[in-house]
Chains A and B, each alone.
Chain A
Amino acid sequence: MTEADEIQGTTAGLEFEDQDLLRSIEDSGVAFRVVSTLLGLVILTAWVIFGRQILLGLGVTGLNQPVAWGFYIVNFVFFIGISHAGTLISAILRLSQAEWRRPITRMAEVITVVVLAIGAFHPVLDLGRPDRALNIFTAGRLQSPLLWDVSSISAYFTASTVYLYIPMIPDIALLRDRGVRPRWLYTFLAWGWQGTPRQQAVLERAVSILMVLVIPIAISVHTVISYIFAMTLQPGWHSTIFGPYFVVGAIFSGIAALMMVMIVMRRVFHLERYLKQVHFDYLSRLLLIMSLLWIYFTFSEYLTAFFGNEPSEMRVFYYKITGPYAPFFWSMVAANFLVPVGILSFRRTRTIPGIFIASASVVVGMWLERLNIVVPSLANPRLPLPTGYYIPSLVEWVMFAGGFATFMLGFVIFARFFPLISVWEIQEGRKLSVAETTERLEGYLPDPVPSSAAQSATERG
């Protein structure tokens, strides 16, 4: 008897429809090893390159004076933006009791945790003295927006890790009970979950507290990141709408990234039964709304700068609109607005491939937006200095690739050990939600006419 049969055997007594969700864990196969080795190699290269950067100095990048920030900060903002995919969306969906959330939340939360870790590491890449990074704690100045960032990112990371973990406990316990290896891992992580009503109640309570808590933290994270820029006096940065603008952008890119991941995972793990057209349809409507919101914010931001006609603002403005950054600026507008709106507005193009294209376009577009924010303002000093320029070096590209590889590897490893779709929530949905939703829907309906209510009461009685 093979091990798989044994596992089957242990659960044979139970009715288990969601075998698909556990296949990747119970039968990982060669593909996992190949993929993770390849990704590991990319990551290893990035680490070696980073080691060299530490040894030689930041001179190995394309940074200079005045463009003292480049890819590392762009990617920092970008990755942290992507991380809004998850926890925020999942929390909002949970909070609004959107039933279609059930197969989505887990993946969203994983994205958050993995990408947040990568994003949060980017400022360290960018440090001239990473060996002194701990000075932030020993000599930190809370007045500095960077410290706000450190605080809110660590809060967000903690909250979203917990928020990922807690709803995962019943699934881990399931894996433990099914005897999946390594058993010690699941036994340890399952935290003694037995599915008792008390445990269920605690779990639900914890999730509902967390989902409320995580929303303001998530919003604060990207607001504070925007403050890094907005708190300076630099043209193009010193803007009051930067907070909401960044948050909108973050959610926008987060949803796009989430859909891309979902589409890929659906294909790889054959999750078509779970991730259905309707899920993508709903999410893409959300993406469409965010796209419109994004163009609205962008328009306001640039119109204000243009109308004010302040010379140093105008230098940055023209640098983006007609100057050296025009290709990036207009591609950004196309990628973030024209492409998604063009595809997602029509049912005919709102197919899975269409959505994938739109999402990829948004991810690229939002990365360009970060680039458009960071570099042009630095490249156009207020004083009559030569306009700066920035050409990222190979080192920065490798680190960029390393960042992506880390994201993918993180996701792959997660998928190897944990279900990408919350099994218990699906099961719960199956068992309870139809009834619950019906009840809720009835709750939305106008109350019956009192007389007839009385009548029916009497009838029942």
Chain B
Amino acid sequence: MIVPRREFLKMLGVASGTLGIGGCGRDWLVPDRLVELAQRGPGLESQAPTICGLCESGCGLTVRLVDGLPVGLKGNPHHPLNRGGLCPVGQAGLEVLYAPHRLQAPQRRGAGGELEPVSWDDALAEVGDLLRQLRSENQGSRVALLTDEPGQLFRDLADSFARAIGSPNISSTKSEGLLPFTLTQGIAQVPGFDVGKSDLVMSFGLDLYEDGPTPLHAISAMVGSRATEDRAAHIYAGTRLSAGSAKAEIYVPISPGTHGALALGVAHVLVREGNYNRDFVAEHTFGFEDWIDDRGHERLGFRRLLLERYYPDRVARICGCDAATVVRIARRLGEASAPLAVAGGEASQGSNATWTGVAVHSLNALLGVFDRPGGVSLPPPIPLTPLAVSETSSLEQTESIFTPDDSAGAFGVDPVEALAERVIDGSGPIALLIIVSSNPVYSSPAGGRLRQAMEQIQLVVTLTPFMDETAAHADLILPSHVFLESWQGATTPAAVAFSTLGLGKPVIEPLFDTRHPGDVLLELGRVVGGPASEALPWVSYPDYLKERLEGLVISGEGSVVTGSFEESWVHFLEERGWRFLEHRSLENCWAVRERESAWWNPVPARGDWARLFRTPSGRFEFFSQTLERHLREVGGMEAQAGMSEEEALERGIAVMGSQVDSDEVCLPHFEPPVTTGEGELQLLPFRPITARGRLAAVSPMVMEMFGYPFLDGWQTWAEVATETAHELDLADGDVVAVESDRGSIEAVVRVHPAAVPGTVHVPMGLGHDQPLGVAENIGSNPIEIIDPIRDSLSGALSLTSSRVNLRLISRRPHGGPAPLDGGH
């Protein structure tokens, strides 16, 4: 008897399942045609370039195919972001594609709460009917859209869609930390930090190599593409020494949330020693020296503030570090030829994150690093074809559900929290919620509230390739492609100094009955009909991408395309799969283009100060007039007419809950962090590189190396300082409950000799209760126990302000010291 191979493997699968060695015994999922090809194909190998879609970075990939089936992937050495490197999550791309738990067809929640399969037509018709109905009742604003699909191109389409159906409610689920730049530079984007040419990067709370928008870019630009002697030095101030920040030349352990104070202490020394860029400060900043305002009042300047209040001894006291270190850092920064200061990670997750961001960014202004190589600049805009403004914008515009509440006085809101609260309290009667490539129930501290809110929403639709916590509470679950099956347009990630446009094309046909979210939105537009379908005229998402990219070719900026657009389109896709464009400059790297069939010009336009500083003064504002105006507005809001501006300002400060006086409040200053709960330790969740993106937990390989700095996998750990462990009588490997006012999670104690005593760091990324890949019920999710408080300026929810206790559950199951526990 000849057993067909496939049958045989199936039998093996069943056999291994019954033997109890954990074989899942599932049938193969890949369509028969592909399996056939893989087994009988001629074995032809090819390479296809594409873009990694697993996190917001959009690194370049080269996929290795055998007979059209992907069998391997690696970093694309030509891509300017990752330059051949690829992070652990990116390496797991194929495991995401072939994952055993992918959603294979649309599902609908029945009356009893159970899921039943539904056809795409029926599913879209249901959403379309509701949309049509809402639109006909002029209630487009009862539709909300949350999307974390990376890239401006998709977001533009989603915006068009929202406009077309008359909804102002569209947002990503994350606050993006733009406010410090808005206050100081007047811009609504994170500027580019040219880490590739900087010679000293001072990082506040951000592990450049592990977290942040593009860690692989930081590694390749700071280390990988430079000779050892030219490598950027790196100073790190924070509460945890991660694998990446362990590379810092100087590590400054500080108390949680005091990064801003340290930055100001450093600024003090720079100013006192005259080590700052006088020309830049004089020409391009506002509020450095004392000044006289419109009404003739003398106002405190940043210089005097620094010298009077942020002397190293005081700063050292606040930060719990050493005054000499503050001086040492300042001198290192002063000596560097192209220093940079960046804030992120824990520094941008506290209750004082915006104030911290402003304080850190003011260092860049003092050092005068704007608009120069190795400094801060804006990446040139990508000349995409602009989208026609929809006719439907004539619809009555209502206020977005994501507009900040006046009484809170913040500049923004946490989108998930705002949505949830307003649905629950009835002020935002959302009838249709569409969630695209996002899992806010899991990833947001307001996720629990959102889950409650979702019960009140008539129809919740999620577009996701995997069953996640959000989908588990949705009414309609629409399976989307994974990145290797779909078209992608990746635009410049945040904080990168040059512009990139990556175009990913599918390397394999969809394995299942899935669709791209873009196609779903376009299809919905057609189902709704009328102006909505006119506003979304594209047949398909690639069709849309094609039209947008035409702008690049027409603009001629950096295009390498010859012949017709059709030809160049094909050429564009097949030759490279990604693209980057800059303003033309003398330094065009034609040589590179010839050799690598790529063109990259990293030099941005210089001297465009008006674009860089869009503040009222047209300068970098140490004294933020934007903030002053805002505070006055907030303060004057509830007050009677005739209130003086000073009174309004004072009231504004009070509403904001700031703890400093009116002189200081609009200047970079230190705002003490606020915490909740009575615990002994402060909980600081962090995102390890093995938890990048939403889908890291899908990959067994990534889970296996999840805690690789501790030679660990598959478990959530609680990292504490040696001293803290000693005080609490805990040892490495003990299992503890991390308990906050909100709840408790289980974690394994990992003792780290360089962590700041009094803190406990818990990685995000595990603790899924849905079969998102293999990590169901593995580890725990620290976000669950966060008792969030808001950053009073940005409205974002703080992740780092909960106080917790560690309660011993069980001693480590086996003896012996751990490698980092100083047992050697």
Binding site for B on A (CB under 8 A): 55-57, 59, 311, 315, 319, 323-324, 379-380, 384-389, 391
Contact of A323 among B21, B711, B815, B819 (CB under 8 A): B815
Shortest beta-carbon distance from B437 to chain A in Å: 38
Shortest beta-carbon distance from A217 to chain B in Å: 40
Contact B21 A56 (CB under 8 A): yes
24 A-B pairs whose Cβ atoms sit less than 8 Å apart in the complex: A55-B19, A57-B21, A59-B21, A311-B824, A315-B824, A319-B816, A323-B815, A323-B816, A324-B816, A379-B816, A380-B816, A384-B819, A385-B711, A385-B819, A386-B816, A386-B817, A386-B818, A387-B815, A387-B816, A387-B817, A387-B823, A388-B816, A389-B816, A391-B814
Shortest beta-carbon distance from A385 to chain B in Å: 6
Q: What are the 10 closest A-B residue pairs judged by CB atoms, nearest first?
A: A387-B816, A389-B814, A324-B815, A384-B819, A386-B818, A386-B819, A384-B824, A56-B21, A387-B817, A386-B711
Contacts of B815 in A (CB 8 A): 323-324, 387, 389
Contacts of B813 in A (CB 8 A): 389
Q: How far is the CA of A387 from the CA of B711 in the complex (A)?
A: 11
**Chain A residue at smallest Cβ distance from B21:** A56
Chain B 787-817: CB-based contact to A (< 8 A → 1; otherwise 0): 0000000000000000000000000011111
Q: How far is the CA of A38 from the CA of B824 in the complex (A)?
A: 50
Contacts of A56 in B (CB 8 A): 19, 21
Q: How far is the CA of A182 from the CA of B818 in the complex (A)?
A: 63
Shortest beta-carbon distance from B165 to chain A in Å: 56
Shortest beta-carbon distance from B705 to chain A in Å: 15
Q: How far is the CA of A391 from the CA of B815 in the complex (A)?
A: 11
Q: How far is the CA of A384 from the CA of B814 in the complex (A)?
A: 17
Known: A57-B21, A386-B818. 10 other contacts (CB 8 A): A56-B21, A315-B824, A324-B815, A385-B711, A385-B819, A387-B816, A387-B817, A387-B823, A388-B816, A389-B814
**Chain A residue at smallest Cβ distance from B16:** A56
Which of A57, A324, A387 has most chain B Cβ within 10 Å?
A387
Binding site for A on B (CB under 8 A): 19, 21, 711, 813-819, 823-824
**Chain B residue at smallest Cβ distance from A386:** B818
Q: Chain B interface mostly helix, strand, loop or mixed?
A: loop
Contacts of B711 in A (CB 8 A): 385-386
Contacts of A380 in B (CB 8 A): 816
Shortest beta-carbon distance from B501 to chain A in Å: 44
Q: How far is the CA of A388 from the CA of B817 in the complex (A)?
A: 9
Which of A324, A380, A388, A389 has most chain B Cβ within 10 Å?
A389
Shortest beta-carbon distance from A329 to chain B in Å: 13
Q: How far is the CA of A56 from the CA of B823 in the complex (A)?
A: 36
Q: How far is the CA of A59 from the CA of B813 in the complex (A)?
A: 19
Contacts of B816 in A (CB 8 A): 319, 323-324, 379-380, 386-389
Contacts of B814 in A (CB 8 A): 324, 389, 391
**Chain A residue at smallest Cβ distance from B816:** A387
Contacts of A391 in B (CB 8 A): 814
Shortest beta-carbon distance from B270 to chain A in Å: 39
Q: How far is the CA of A384 from the CA of B711 in the complex (A)?
A: 11
Contacts of B817 in A (CB 8 A): 386-387
Shortest beta-carbon distance from A145 to chain B in Å: 28
**Chain A residue at smallest Cβ distance from B711:** A386
Q: How far is the CA of A59 from the CA of B19 in the complex (A)?
A: 13
Shortest beta-carbon distance from B204 to chain A in Å: 30
Q: How far is the CA of A271 from the CA of B21 in the complex (A)?
A: 52
Contacts of A385 in B (CB 8 A): 711, 819
Contacts of A55 in B (CB 8 A): 19
Q: How far is the CA of A8 from the CA of B362 in the complex (A)?
A: 114
**Chain A residue at smallest Cβ distance from B818:** A386
Q: How far is the CA of A328 from the CA of B228 in the complex (A)?
A: 51
Shortest beta-carbon distance from B265 to chain A in Å: 36
Which of B21, B815, B817, B818 has most chain A Cβ within 10 Å?
B815
Shortest beta-carbon distance from A205 to chain B in Å: 57
Which of A311, A385, A386, A389 has most chain B Cβ within 10 Å?
A386
Contacts of B19 in A (CB 8 A): 55-56
Shortest beta-carbon distance from B405 to chain A in Å: 50
Q: How far is the CA of A324 from the CA of B733 in the complex (A)?
A: 15
Contacts of A384 in B (CB 8 A): 819, 824
Q: How far is the CA of A379 from the CA of B814 in the complex (A)?
A: 11
Q: How far is the CA of A208 from the CA of B542 in the complex (A)?
A: 94
**Chain B residue at smallest Cβ distance from A389:** B814
Contacts of B823 in A (CB 8 A): 387
Q: How far is the CA of A445 from the CA of B132 in the complex (A)?
A: 125
Contacts of A57 in B (CB 8 A): 21
Shortest beta-carbon distance from B396 to chain A in Å: 64
**Chain A residue at smallest Cβ distance from B823:** A387
**Chain B residue at smallest Cβ distance from A323:** B815
Q: How far is the CA of A379 from the CA of B816 in the complex (A)?
A: 9
Q: How far is the CA of A323 from the CA of B814 in the complex (A)?
A: 11
Contacts of A315 in B (CB 8 A): 824
Shortest beta-carbon distance from A322 to chain B in Å: 11
Shortest beta-carbon distance from B261 to chain A in Å: 36
Shortest beta-carbon distance from A375 to chain B in Å: 11
Q: How far is the CA of A311 from the CA of B818 in the complex (A)?
A: 16
Q: How far is the CA of A324 from the CA of B813 in the complex (A)?
A: 12
Q: How far is the CA of A311 from the CA of B824 in the complex (A)?
A: 8
Contacts of B21 in A (CB 8 A): 56-57, 59
Contacts of A319 in B (CB 8 A): 816
